[in-house]
Chains A and B, each alone.
Chain A
């Protein structure tokens, strides 16, 4: 099958590859770039596990062909916090408020929540639930995901207050072991 050249900026880096025109963006990210943090949970664009940020907006990368993203700027879960840098506020919020269990929906959830807070830095519970309508989680029942987003809204720099009642000092930067 013939291929076309695709250049996209992914997590700040310009990437160029020859890909088949039919290749979905999610498969380009996972199979070609080996950025496996973006997941696939369905084949009907319902679950949102594949959500990335493309040119500032959350998109389901299983609904976009890699060629359609040509020239675009993509942020995936791997690009949210640089190595050695603190987690983003949304990442930290998911940790603080137990917004994940198995973690499979989580990258997509975090990207969708990141896009939401970009548009609406102080969303209500109702607004959060509606913004996440396209992201399915089978583990949490969503309430703690809502709490996670609220935590991020209330701590936009992602810094955990000293007085936090969390007994753990789990690492809060990339690259630290657990």
Chain B
């Protein structure tokens, strides 16, 4: 029975709700010692001296290492701009590890780290795009000459088109720097013994880490094992090669002890790579009917102190997706990557696409505002029609597979009474102190299902496929091994759902295993909303092949032609004669017994591995609306409605799909209203604990109203597009558009994220 689309409860839950989950920090082999960092307190300084004698003398301390102790270990990241495992001569951001200590317990390690004294000679810092690009700015990496790592100019900046256009609109937008804040901070445990290296890590791509660590140390992959046990959230921030993995391994080799590193939250806030941190200059040209004629986007990406390969790709994705779900005759894109004295920047849920939906959805609202045409109507006039798919955009990366943008908007407007709310908004504006109402839309689109051949290789991955192995057990149950590496997505459940329908094996008799390079075939990992659309498709493909082979055995048992065998009940039957049947358990059992299968078959044939490829990206889309109320006295913003129409193609499990949307939307609302890593002008981070970095609690977030349209992708047999990042792509512009709409009668055309009550209050005060 197909379980696709069924609200199936998760197989993952029983361990996790009983405290029987196993996260990295829960694992402590005999002899484990603890590693801690001495971290830079300076944004940009020369290291003059490191005094570690006192730390070394502390009972229970096994080692204190500085860069001088690991001179043979190479840097990470881009060649020539590599990040050393420990700062060498110069520190380039607050938090950069300067030394590492290892001790018998975490308390002693923390004490020892405190005892290491570093003498610095301060240099001027460039902690922002503006300061890094200023004349005479301090240079972070002398090989660059300045602070620009890469600059892709416009091919044609459309100056003539803009000059000739009846109307134009322009915005400078700041996509605030965000911290991913998985509730489990980074952690790893390295055990390098005589028989090989095992590294447990809270990571999204175990084989990627295994291959990288093996290459880094020049050791064989077969004796290098990476295990990603239960992983407490990742959101893109757990696919970066940060120094702790390599240091823990090197220290374990040196000390012949398992070495564990568990980050504190305050360390995590400055060490785990940040996301967003992107500025945009956006111009559109449009006609009298608010039809878009041209779009021009110049992106400046803050890379932090060391350019990360994934981080370098963020503006590529932003500019590829810049036109959103609109048909715009001319699009010009350009971007540059800039280093600053801040924590490095890389993927965070959405990775370049929230920035794209933000720019296009903000400027479409500005067109609505300037032209006096309703924002819903402006969108409708510019949507790509449903009969134009596949739709080639300005970017070769983005050939949209399918979509129904107008349909999503229509569905959205059934979820609440737009006209009544507009009337109430107008009424309240005429009162003295009733709360102001704002209504914000976002017709968003993103690129997912990474991906087609070549799409991940550019980020250093071995391939862009995903591995799936199905092994039918002798009792007729099945184990699926996959290179996808979930950390909350529910992949164990969705993959079992997909397999159950195809294999005819009950859901309860299918297990899914992942996260261990010693048992799972070479895989890629979970990021870029790919697990279902690529890995899930692999489950479907492998299941079909298993059934083909099982039919041969069933036919042998039933003395029939394999072509006449069909899945029936709990096993196989001869087509048209359901009583002439054999259960799966018998087929599975006999598949291992040479005397009971056809002579030209081999035992153990019900074991299939596929490396699933997909021909193109998929493009999940949707229409969101956020409604807010603003207190005119305090500037406080309350979200009163969050209406979410998603189109992820085929839904495997509506419960889990909604969970993904809610989580992404929560992070999107957080970016719009609450979160933002900031640095002062000297480069000191201003919010590196959860006391001053507001990740929203249940009281700060609304309940959500879910809706759906379905345009299956043609790129896989499931029709599934991916949904992991949708919410974080769609929500920020909806929320910002709502707040701006609430204040638009005061002449407000834009406010930067996070929009705080203070910013709103300032607007309200000025208007008095």
A interface residues (Cβ-Cβ under 8 A, vs B): 20, 22-23, 27, 30-31, 34-44, 46-47, 49, 76-78, 80-81, 87, 91, 94-96, 98, 100-107, 110, 125, 128-130, 132-146, 165-171, 174, 176, 178
* Alpha-carbon distance A10/B266, docked complex (angstroms): 30
Q: A23-B107, A101-B659, A104-B182 are in contact. Are A141 and B487 (CB under 8 A)?
A: no
10 closest A-B pairs by beta carbon, nearest first, are A37-B19, A104-B232, A103-B16, A102-B488, A141-B666, A141-B662, A101-B488, A77-B19, A36-B26, A46-B690
**Contact yes or no, A46 B691, CB < 8 A:** yes
Q: Determine the interface band of chain B, counting residues with CB < 8 A from chain A.
A: 35 or more
CB neighbours (8 Å) of B14 from chain A are 95, 170-171, 174, 176, 178
**Contact yes or no, A41 B488, CB < 8 A:** no
**A–B complex contacts, Cβ < 8 Å, 14 sampled:** A36-B26, A46-B690, A47-B183, A101-B659, A102-B183, A102-B231, A104-B230, A107-B17, A128-B698, A142-B697, A146-B698, A167-B6, A168-B8, A176-B14
Q: A81-B18, A138-B233, A139-B233 are in contact. Are A104 and B23 (CB under 8 A)?
A: yes
- Most A-side CB within 10 Å, residue of B17, B230, B233: B17
B interface residues (Cβ-Cβ under 8 A, vs A): 3, 6-23, 25-26, 28, 105-107, 181-185, 230-233, 235, 262, 264-266, 487-490, 507-508, 511, 655-656, 658-659, 662-667, 689-691, 695, 697-699, 701, 703-704, 727
Q: A103-B230, A138-B667, A166-B8 are in contact. Are A95 and B17 (CB under 8 A)?
A: yes
* Alpha-carbon distance A95/B97, docked complex (angstroms): 41
Using CB atoms, name the residue of chain A closest to B694.
A46
Using CB atoms, name the residue of chain A closest to B669.
A141
Smallest Cβ distance from A87 to chain B, in angstroms? Answer: 7
Smallest Cβ distance from B734 to chain A, in angstroms? Answer: 14
- Most A-side CB within 10 Å, residue of B8, B19, B22: B19
New A-B pairs, 15, CB < 8 Å, besides A35-B19, A170-B10: A23-B107, A36-B19, A40-B25, A41-B183, A76-B19, A95-B13, A104-B232, A104-B233, A137-B183, A139-B659, A143-B701, A167-B3, A167-B9, A167-B507, A168-B10
Q: A96-B9, A101-B489 are in contact. Are A106 and B16 (CB under 8 A)?
A: yes
CB neighbours (8 Å) of A95 from chain B are 9-10, 13-14, 17
* Alpha-carbon distance A18/B175, docked complex (angstroms): 51
* Alpha-carbon distance A142/B185, docked complex (angstroms): 20
* Alpha-carbon distance A69/B667, docked complex (angstroms): 36
* Residue of B23, B264, B488 touching A39 (CB-CB under 8 A): B23
Smallest Cβ distance from A1 to chain B, in angstroms? Answer: 8
Q: A98-B655, A132-B698, A141-B704 are in contact. Are A42 and B18 (CB under 8 A)?
A: no
**Contact yes or no, B659 A98, CB < 8 A:** yes
Q: A37-B18, A104-B23 are in contact. Are A129 and B699 (CB under 8 A)?
A: yes
**Contact yes or no, B690 A110, CB < 8 A:** no
Contact count A vs B, C-beta below 8 Å: 215
- Most B-side CB within 10 Å, residue of A94, A128, A141: A141
**Contact yes or no, B18 A87, CB < 8 A:** yes
* Residue of B13, B18, B182 touching A170 (CB-CB under 8 A): B13
CB neighbours (8 Å) of B23 from chain A are 36, 39, 104
* Residue of B13, B508, B667 touching A94 (CB-CB under 8 A): B13
**Contact yes or no, B183 A44, CB < 8 A:** no
Q: A36-B26, A133-B698, A143-B703 are in contact. Are A103 and B488 (CB under 8 A)?
A: yes
**Contact yes or no, A98 B656, CB < 8 A:** yes
Smallest Cβ distance from B5 to chain A, in angstroms? Answer: 10
* Alpha-carbon distance A36/B20, docked complex (angstroms): 8
**Contact yes or no, A168 B701, CB < 8 A:** no
CB neighbours (8 Å) of B704 from chain A are 141, 143
* Alpha-carbon distance A82/B159, docked complex (angstroms): 72
Q: A47-B265, A103-B21, A106-B16 are in contact. Are A168 and B662 (CB under 8 A)?
A: no
Q: A101-B489, A102-B488, A170-B10 are in contact. Are A138 and B662 (CB under 8 A)?
A: no
Smallest Cβ distance from A176 to chain B, in angstroms? Answer: 7
**Contact yes or no, A44 B232, CB < 8 A:** no
Smallest Cβ distance from A29 to chain B, in angstroms? Answer: 10
**Contact yes or no, A178 B703, CB < 8 A:** no
**Contact yes or no, B666 A142, CB < 8 A:** yes
Smallest Cβ distance from A146 to chain B, in angstroms? Answer: 7
* Residue of A42, A106, A133 touching B17 (CB-CB under 8 A): A106
**Contact yes or no, A136 B690, CB < 8 A:** yes
* Alpha-carbon distance A174/B18, docked complex (angstroms): 8
**Contact yes or no, B690 A178, CB < 8 A:** no
**Contact yes or no, A80 B18, CB < 8 A:** yes
Q: A104-B183, A134-B697 are in contact. Are A178 and B15 (CB under 8 A)?
A: yes
CB neighbours (8 Å) of B265 from chain A are 41-44, 47
Using CB atoms, name the residue of chain A closest to B1.
A167
* Alpha-carbon distance A26/B663, docked complex (angstroms): 27
**Contact yes or no, B655 A168, CB < 8 A:** no
- Most A-side CB within 10 Å, residue of B231, B699, B704: B699
* Residue of B16, B21, B106, B659 touching A140 (CB-CB under 8 A): B659
CB neighbours (8 Å) of A141 from chain B are 662-666, 701, 704, 727
CB neighbours (8 Å) of B10 from chain A are 95, 98, 168, 170
Using CB atoms, name the residue of chain A closest to B690.
A46
CB neighbours (8 Å) of A41 from chain B are 183-185, 232, 265
**Contact yes or no, B183 A136, CB < 8 A:** yes
CB neighbours (8 Å) of A42 from chain B are 264-265, 689-690
**Contact yes or no, B17 A105, CB < 8 A:** no
* Residue of B8, B181, B666, B697 touching A167 (CB-CB under 8 A): B8
CB neighbours (8 Å) of A169 from chain B are 508
Smallest Cβ distance from B504 to chain A, in angstroms? Answer: 16
CB neighbours (8 Å) of B185 from chain A are 41
CB neighbours (8 Å) of B15 from chain A are 103, 178
* Residue of A22, A132, A144 touching B662 (CB-CB under 8 A): A144
CB neighbours (8 Å) of B184 from chain A are 39, 41, 102, 104
* Residue of B11, B232, B511 touching A103 (CB-CB under 8 A): B232
* Alpha-carbon distance A79/B691, docked complex (angstroms): 31
CB neighbours (8 Å) of B659 from chain A are 98, 101, 139-140, 144
CB neighbours (8 Å) of A87 from chain B are 17-18
* Alpha-carbon distance A73/B4, docked complex (angstroms): 46
* Residue of A23, A103, A130 touching B12 (CB-CB under 8 A): A103
CB neighbours (8 Å) of B691 from chain A are 44, 46
Smallest Cβ distance from B20 to chain A, in angstroms? Answer: 7
CB neighbours (8 Å) of B690 from chain A are 42, 44, 46-47, 136
Using CB atoms, name the residue of chain B closest to A20.
B107
**Contact yes or no, A107 B19, CB < 8 A:** yes
* Alpha-carbon distance A165/B6, docked complex (angstroms): 9
CB neighbours (8 Å) of B107 from chain A are 20, 22-23
* Alpha-carbon distance A161/B364, docked complex (angstroms): 49
* Alpha-carbon distance A136/B271, docked complex (angstroms): 20
CB neighbours (8 Å) of A135 from chain B are 697-698
Smallest Cβ distance from A75 to chain B, in angstroms? Answer: 11
CB neighbours (8 Å) of A166 from chain B are 7-9
Using CB atoms, name the residue of chain A closest to B702.
A143
* Alpha-carbon distance A99/B662, docked complex (angstroms): 11
* Alpha-carbon distance A23/B475, docked complex (angstroms): 50
**Contact yes or no, B181 A138, CB < 8 A:** yes
Smallest Cβ distance from A115 to chain B, in angstroms? Answer: 15
* Alpha-carbon distance A30/B262, docked complex (angstroms): 13
* Alpha-carbon distance A142/B664, docked complex (angstroms): 11
Smallest Cβ distance from B638 to chain A, in angstroms? Answer: 13
Using CB atoms, name the residue of chain A closest to B665.
A141
* Alpha-carbon distance A128/B703, docked complex (angstroms): 12
* Alpha-carbon distance A34/B182, docked complex (angstroms): 23
CB neighbours (8 Å) of B26 from chain A are 30, 36
* Alpha-carbon distance A176/B20, docked complex (angstroms): 12
* Alpha-carbon distance A104/B26, docked complex (angstroms): 12
CB neighbours (8 Å) of B232 from chain A are 39, 41, 102-105
Q: A47-B265, A101-B490 are in contact. Are A110 and B17 (CB under 8 A)?
A: yes
CB neighbours (8 Å) of B727 from chain A are 141
- Most B-side CB within 10 Å, residue of A40, A76, A128, A143: A143
